[in-house]
Amino acid sequence: MRRLTKRFREALSYAARLHAKQKRKGTDEPYIGHLLGVASLALQYGGDEDEAIAALLHDAAEDQGGRATLRTIERKFGRKVATIVEACSDSFETSRPPWRERKEAHIAKIRSASPNVKFVCAADKLHNARSILADYRLIGERLWKRFSGKKEGTLWYYREMAAAVRRPDSDPLAEELDRVVRQMNRLAV
């Protein structure tokens, strides 16, 4: 049985403080719900405590303070967690590069990433894809207005990320992401 220590509780508290005012894109949902969902998937699919902590903090540096936040994460939670968070971030700049360019670079980075980076990234994308699928069933085509990539770009991005996180060994998390992304694409035709 995997045990979560005080570090996990501290990471949960830190994530809740960092993202306290943030909402999910196009909704009134508190952002912490997404972070809890990603951490839950990491634990459900066999992740260790560092991967669960990285799952809680995967957007912290990107959305809440850039490299300064990344340095704090390393100091508080260790190099392994900070390395995963850094790799899961597509940009640290306040003025970000254009959406497609940023996503293409991020996909390329994930393709060559370590297994634990791919694992946390897959948990993040699976939680997002499930949310997109559920919201699409509720509001239909209006959903795509939330996303910078609109419908075509968002579907492209999730197909590419599902392929990027695949590993040569059997990987139930990446396989589930692939199933959900295929379902998303079929439904959105």
List per-residue pLDDT tens for the chain, 189 residues long: 578 999 999 999 999 999 988 888 878 899 999 999 999 999 999 999 999 999 999 999 888 888 999 999 999 999 999 999 999 998 877 777 889 999 999 999 999 999 999 999 999 999 999 999 999 999 999 999 999 999 999 999 999 999 999 987 878 999 999 999 999 999 877
Residue 60: which of 84, 28, 27 has the closest Cα?
84
Rounded CA-CA distance 178/158 in Å is 9
**What region, left, alpha or beta, does residue 78 occupy, with left being phi > 0 and alpha being psi -120 to 50 degrees?**
left
Domain with residue 153: its CATH number is 1.10.3210.10
Other beta carbons within 10 Å of 113:
19
Looking at residue 97, its pLDDT comes to: 84
Residues 6+ apart with CB under 8 A from 73: 57, 60, 61, 81, 82, 85
Please report whether residue 1 resides in a domain. no
CA separation, residue 126 to residues 15, 41, 54, 111, 131 (Å): 20, 8, 15, 16, 8
- The pLDDT score that the predictor gives to residue 132 is 94
Per-residue model confidence (pLDDT) at position 69: 93
User: Residue 123 has what pLDDT?
Assistant: 98
What the block records as the tokens of 147 is: 């996303």
Domains held by the chain: number: 1
pLDDT value, residue 22: 83
Q: What is the pTM of this model?
A: 0.94
Show the CA angle centred on residue 76, arms to residues 42 and 11, nearest 5°. 40
Q: Reduced to 3 states, what is the DSSP secondary structure of residue 43? A: helix
Range of the domain at 10: 6-187
**pLDDT at res. 33:** 95
Identify the pLDDT of residue 61.
87
Q: Looking at the domain assignment, is residue 45 inside a domain?
A: yes
d(Cα 138, Cα 73) in Å, to the nearest integer?
Answer: 37
